[in-house]
A = this chain, B = another copy of it.
C-alpha cells in the first residue's frame, strides 16, 4: 500500500492525500511533525535526503518526493491530467509557478504567522508583496474560467488550492481576490476537501 509521510499542516502534503482519495488509491499516512523537525531525523533523511515532506513509499518500496512530482505520478493516465497536449503543458506551467512564485510567499507568510507566532509586521515585506502578486495573477487568470488549465479539474487546481485556501492565515483576504475566492470554493466542493481551513 502507498505510504504517505506528511504533516497535515502542510498544503504540500494535503495535495498528495487529496489526489490519492480522488483517485481511490488506498494509503497509509504517517505523521511527520515539521515544526518539531521530525524531517531532520536520521530515519526520515534515509527516506528523503532533502529532508522534506511529503515523501511517499510506493508499493514496491521505492521512495518519491516533491509534492507535484508525487501527484503527477499517482495521477498518470487519469482525468486529473488533461488529454490535450497544450492543456497538459499549461497545467505543468501552473505547477512549476506554484513552487517558484506562490508557495514561497503565500505558504511562508502563513507559516511565519500561524506556526512561528510572528506578528504580520515581523514578516519580511518582500514575502507579503510577492504573495499579493501571486494572488493577483491567479485572480486575473481565473476571471471567466472555472479551472486553471483546460476545461476540467486538473492537478494544477489541486496544487494551487493547497495553500491558496489557507491565505487568510498569512493575513490575506481572499475576498480581495473574488475570482480566486469563488474558485477555492468550487475546488473544495469538487475534490471534495474535508480538511478544515
Contacts and interface: CB of A to CB of B under 8 A. Distances in A.
Contacts of A42: none
Interface residues of A, number: 34
Contact of A58 (B50, B68, B86): B86
A104 interface: yes
Chain A at the B interface: SS class: helix
A96 B73 contact: no
A114 to B, nearest CB: 21
Given A76-B85, A89-B72, A137-B50, A97 B62 contact: no
Contact of A93 (B65, B76, B85, B92): B65
20 contacts: A49-B141, A50-B97, A50-B137, A60-B86, A64-B86, A64-B93, A66-B93, A66-B97, A66-B100, A68-B96, A69-B89, A69-B95, A70-B93, A73-B85, A73-B89, A95-B96, A96-B96, A99-B99, A99-B100, A100-B100
